[in-house]
Amino acid sequence: MHAPGRLRGRRLWLPFLGAALAVAAVCAVAVLRPGAAADPVAAGGGDAPMTVAAPAALTLPDEARVLVFGDSWVYGSAALTPTLGFAYRLAHELGVETLVDGVRGSGYLKPGVDGPAYGERIAQLDPALDPDLIVIEGSINDRRLYPSGYRDAVTAAWDQLEAHFPDAAIVVLGPAPQVLPVEAATRKIDTDLRDLAAARGWWYISPIQEEWITTANYADVIDSGPVGRDHPSTTGHAYLASRVADAVRAMTRTTNVVAEAPLDDGAVAP
């Protein structure tokens, strides 16, 4: 089993953030909301004392290799060129080498335009890639097939990912809304991924819960025209890269476990 945040034996390149961030852990894993705490959840219900914890802080070496795996959003669809997509931009944002593997139309259940579904794609990855961090994104493409077989497909894909890259830290980036209001199936996928990540002690980022895309910025982030087809615009990809980078940087600092802490407005909970 993969141990989150394992140090690979090289010098750290990401210093701890100077400002303390409340990092939410929901069901034993944080749904990261930089600048805001998650809704507290009591293990025993009501206002009972609880243990507050977050996944282990990420530690990455100098010249880290980051595999960004996902669907058309990772591919860079609707950007002026795919290499202006958010996954490629993370290299500049974080000062890392990014290895981008995005297949348009793909998901955990759904085969894509240019390749199979996630599980089969992961099985085909070269273990010699040896990433320090994996960001696995998406996918809204499963919303028409959900829920039949969904959790099993995610579990099998993640098992394969761990087997291929046992030394890599893994962060799950949930689906982001391509339309508003967020479709019901997309919200359920977001919840399932959060819970499954929790079971492994992995960091989970929820663009839906963090409200990365709202009515206030939708037109700036999403190209809803006939070319963009509800994918991020070039400007939108730059915005997403910034948000993902901020989230990853926040993961390099976690709050200490607080045992027997009473629930209050500032509590974060597993």
Phi, psi of 197 (to 5 degrees): -65, -35
Rounded to whole angstroms, how far apart are CA atoms 119 and 107?
A: 9
- The answer to whether 40 touches 266, Cβ cutoff 8 Å, is no
CATH number for 55-255: choose from 3.40.50.920, 3.40.980.10, 3.40.50.20, 3.40.50.1110: 3.40.50.1110
CA distances (Å), 163 to each of 12, 134, 154, 201, in order?
24, 13, 14, 16
Q: What is the DSSP string of 92-110?
A: HHHTSEEEEEE-TT--SSS
Residues 6+ apart with CB under 8 A from 263: 40, 42, 47, 48, 50, 269
- The answer to whether 98 touches 164, Cβ cutoff 8 Å, is no
Tell me which residue has tokens 């910025």. 217
Query: For residue 92, how many C-alpha atoms fall within 13 Å in the half-sphere facing its CB?
Result: 10
Residue 38: helix, strand or coil by DSSP?
coil
Residue 213: helix, strand or coil by DSSP?
coil
- The answer to whether 153 touches 118, Cβ cutoff 8 Å, is yes
Rounded to whole angstroms, how far apart are CA atoms 236 and 242?
A: 10
Handedness of CA 92, 21, 234, 88 (dihedral sign): positive
Token pair in block for residue 80 = 């002026």
Rounded to whole angstroms, how far apart are CA atoms 26 and 23?
A: 10
- The answer to whether 65 touches 134, Cβ cutoff 8 Å, is no
> Are β-strands 231-232 and 133-137 bridged in parallel, bridged antiparallel, or unpaired?
unpaired
Query: What predicted TM-score, i.e. pTM, was given to this entire model?
Result: 0.77
Tell me whether residue 151 is exposed, middle or buried, using C-beta atoms within 10 angstroms of its C-beta: 0 to 12, 13 to 18, 19 or more.
middle
CA-nearest of 144, 139, 247 to 193 is 139
- The answer to whether 53 touches 28, Cβ cutoff 8 Å, is yes
Domain range annotation of the chain: 55-255
pLDDT along the chain (270 residues), means of 10: 36 36 38 39 34 74 95 98 98 97 98 97 96 97 97 98 97 97 98 96 97 97 95 98 97 52 36
